[in-house]
């Protein structure tokens, strides 16, 4: 065994028992300190899991006891200035060497955690050991420096680390201090990543292979950041009375008090009781923690939203922003630029941004002048096939609920929805009928659109703004009957001439091929101006409809008179003449048969005439 201690061991031939002896010797005496570098060589993803586990247990036990006496890391800003005599002290040199080995040990643990070759069971054990050093490695305070290294390695890893991220979120995000320092790290990483992505960088518009690889790596990093920051649970119990569960014993300390404590610790050795009392005094109250958490939460999310987010992550963010982010921001109005840009993109992105933008407008006083014009532009047949169409229709109904809405604007939305009836599926037609029903009930001034003949002009039905905007168009308009003055291609509702049109498309639904649509359109025949006799329709009942839901409702529907298909007499033809008056149905080969029959008739007539001539003779 002496050869093992004097020479560097061969890691490929070293047995597990010998490795265990090395760890026991390291823990027993300082004379076997040279076993420390040997044990560090086994902390690798290429080593057998049993060797990694045995080395990890020995090194964790060793560093846990000596870590409180080690000097700060060389990269630490709090490293004190020492005299030359103090630097030459053998004890100081020994502790500085131990600090470097501890930093190397932390780096090796992170490499094992991030490596795709590491088994999941071993990765979980290594993460638990790493978080123990986060808990105790800074004199009893949360060791944010090595925790930031872990998050940075997760975000900047070239390979997916989904299991590690899930493990970290499920086991440690329940602790309030872990959430707090996670937000701080995410803010730093987002700012660092934002500085690397510039408009002139190849990652934005480069076509070479290096540019594509860097662009893919940045998108992967943003995806990992979104996973981490979105899986941090929201702060609950922020009433200032409930206590929060901490991973570190000292909790979240204020910066000034923490600096004083570190300074006094470097100057003189304090008593244990005094130190524990000071730590308890430094712990912040729940109300203060809630304020700090909200501030860090806001900074982390705002820094993340400034990144060039990929479209798939962009949609995920917009889908949960109104529920998981806006209620917990210190000032939600700071999202107005992000949401207005998203709303101006158009398509599905605008639909998904509508929920958050609506909350800012109704609850936080955001003013968006062109909101209804953008909302009007979103009404297209493709919206009835979108994934989030149910939420969009509910928000559309809420946005058109205000009684202060101008008549021309309500008429434009009603007419645009009515025009869409021609090209949408039956489920979309049911939603449109419900929306138009609510519009006619809320805005009696547009009830003239239900039945409006040519030549009917009621100055009260129109609006001065629309008349002034369309005065030039009216001069050259066609006055013939049957002309619809509504311009469906116009993006501005004021210039669409909706008040001069009618909802004739709804009348066509009386003969719709889908029975639920033809039955449901009869609800618009009621006098909607009498609000006491009618009620608004809940859009939730129609927003998520499809062919399957309509078919299911028809199957469950009880019908008193069931139509039967039977014949009183055996049919002689496919299409009876009584059903198609004035129509004749001929087969393509009938012409040839007719010509052949004519030839046969003529030949028979000729033969008959010749026979008659012979008889006469």
Average pLDDT along the chain: 79
Res. 4: pLDDT tops 50: no
Helix (H, G, I), strand (E, B) or coil at 584: coil
Helices (H), 244-310: 255-267, 272-282, 286-305
The per-residue pLDDT for 485 is 85
HSE-up of 490 (CA within 13 Å, CB side)? 17
Q: Residue range 423-452: average pLDDT?
A: 88
Token pair, residue 455, equals 């030549």
Res. 80: pLDDT tops 60: no
Q: Residue range 481-503: average pLDDT?
A: 86
Q: What is the tens place of the pLDDT at every residue in 290-303?
A: 889 999 999 999 99
Q: What is the tens place of the pLDDT at every residue in 404-432?
A: 889 999 999 999 999 999 889 999 999 99
How sure is the predictor about 308, in pLDDT bands with cuts at 50, 70 and 90? Answer: very high
Percent of the chain past pLDDT 90, that is, above it, reads 32
CA 430 to chain CA centroid, Å, is 28
Q: How many helices (H) and strands (E) does the chain have?
A: 29, 0
Token pair, residue 136, equals 């105790």
Q: For residue 234, what is the DSSP state?
A: P
The per-residue pLDDT for 206 is 41
Q: Report the alpha-carbon distance of residue 82 to residue 69 in Å, rounded.
A: 16
Token pair, residue 254, equals 């204020």
The per-residue pLDDT for 460 is 45
How sure is the predictor about 62, in pLDDT bands with cuts at 50, 70 and 90? Answer: very high
Which of the two residues, 30 and 564, has the higher pLDDT score? 30
- The per-residue DSSP string of 507-551 comes to HHGGG-SSHHHHHHGGGGGS-TT-TTT--PPPTHHHHT--HHHHH
Res. 402: pLDDT tops 70: yes
The per-residue pLDDT for 300 is 95
Res. 607: pLDDT tops 80: no
Token pair, residue 53, equals 């586990």
Q: Report the alpha-carbon distance of residue 497 to residue 484 in Å, rounded.
A: 9
pTM: 0.74
Q: Residue range 366-378: average pLDDT?
A: 88
Q: Residue range 141-163: average pLDDT?
A: 90
Query: Are 326 and 332 in contact, with CB atoms under 8 Å apart?
Result: yes
In terms of Cβ atoms closer than 10 Å to its own Cβ (0-12, 13-18, 19+), residue 30 is exposed
Res. 157: pLDDT tops 80: yes
Beta bridge partners of 253: 283
Query: Are 420 and 436 in contact, with CB atoms under 8 Å apart?
Result: no
HSE-up of 108 (CA within 13 Å, CB side)? 21
Helix (H, G, I), strand (E, B) or coil at 88: coil
Q: Residue range 221-242: average pLDDT?
A: 79
């Amino acid at each position: 065994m002496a050869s093992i201690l004097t020479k560097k061991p061969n890691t490929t031939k070293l047995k597990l028992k010998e490795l265990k002896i090395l760890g026991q010797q390291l823990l027993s005496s300082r004379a076997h300190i040279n076993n420390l570098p040997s044990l560090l060589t086994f902390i690798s993803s290429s080593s057998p899991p049993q060797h990694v586990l045995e080395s990890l247990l020995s090194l964790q036990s060793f560093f846990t006891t000596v870590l409180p006496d080690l000097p700060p890391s060389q990269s630490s800003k709090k490293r004190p200035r020492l005299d030359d005599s103090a630097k030459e002290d053998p004890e100081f040199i020994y502790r500085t060497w131990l600090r470097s080995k501890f930093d190397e040990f932390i780096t090796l643990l992170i490499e094992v955690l991030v490596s795709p070759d590491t088994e999941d069971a071993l990765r979980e054990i290594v993460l638990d050991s790493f978080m123990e050093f986060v808990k105790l490695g800074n004199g009893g305070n949360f060791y944010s420096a090595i925790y930031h290294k872990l998050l940075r390695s997760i975000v900047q890893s070239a390979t997916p680390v989904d299991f590690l991220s899930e493990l970290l979120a499920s086991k440690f995000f329940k602790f309030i201090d872990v959430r707090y320092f996670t937000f701080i790290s995410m803010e730093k990483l987002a700012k660092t990543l934002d500085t690397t992505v510039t408009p002139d960088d190849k990652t934005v518009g480069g076509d070479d292979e290096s540019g594509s690889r860097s662009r893919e790596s940045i998108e992967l990093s943003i995806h990992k950041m979104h996973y981490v920051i979105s899986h941090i649970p929201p702060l609950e119990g922020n009433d200032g009375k409930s206590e929060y569960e901490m991973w570190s014993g000292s909790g979240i300390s204020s910066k000034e008090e923490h600096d004083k404590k570190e300074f006094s610790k470097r100057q003189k050795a304090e008593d244990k009781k005094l130190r524990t009392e000071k730590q308890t005094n430094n712990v912040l109250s729940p109300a203060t923690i809630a304020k700090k958490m909200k501030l860090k939460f806001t900074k982390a999310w705002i820094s993340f939203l400034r990144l060039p987010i990929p479209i798939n992550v962009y949609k995920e963010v917009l889908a949960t922003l109104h529920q998981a982010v806006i209620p917990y921001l210190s000032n939600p109005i700071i999202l107005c630029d992000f949401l207005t840009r998203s709303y101006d993109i158009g398509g599905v992105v605008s639909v998904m941004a509508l929920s958050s933008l609506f909350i800012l407008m109704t609850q936080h006083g955001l003013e968006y002048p062109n909101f209804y014009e953008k909302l009007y532009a979103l009404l297209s047949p493709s919206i009835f096939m979108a994934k989030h169409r149910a939420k969009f229709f509910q928000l559309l109904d809420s946005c058109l609920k205000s009684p202060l809405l101008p008549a021309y604007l309500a008429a434009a939305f009603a007419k645009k929805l009515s025009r869409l009836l021609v090209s949408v599926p039956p489920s979309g037609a049911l939603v449109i009928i419900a929306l138009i029903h609510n519009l006619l009930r809320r805005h009696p001034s547009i009830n003239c659109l239900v039945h409006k003949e040519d030549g009917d002009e009621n100055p009260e039905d129109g609006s001065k703004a629309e008349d002034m905007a369309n005065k030039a168009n009216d001069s050259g308009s066609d006055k013939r009957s049957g002309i619809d003055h509504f311009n469906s291609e116009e993006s501005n509702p004021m210039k669409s001439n909706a008040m001069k049109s009618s909802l004739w498309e709804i009348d066509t639904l009386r003969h719709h091929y889908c029975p639920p649509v033809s039955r449901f359109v009869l609800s618009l025949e009621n006098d909607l101006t009498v609000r006491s006799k009618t009620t608004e329709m809940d859009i939730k009942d129609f927003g998520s409809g499809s062919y399957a839901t309509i078919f299911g409702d028809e199957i469950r529907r009880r019908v008193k008179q069931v139509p039967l298909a039977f014949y009183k007499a055996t049919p002689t033809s496919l299409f009876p003449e009584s059903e198609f008056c004035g129509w004749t149905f001929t087969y393509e080969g009938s012409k040839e048969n007719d010509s052949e029959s004519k030839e046969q008739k003529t030949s028979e007539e000729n033969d008959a005439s010749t026979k008659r001539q012979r008889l006469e003779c």
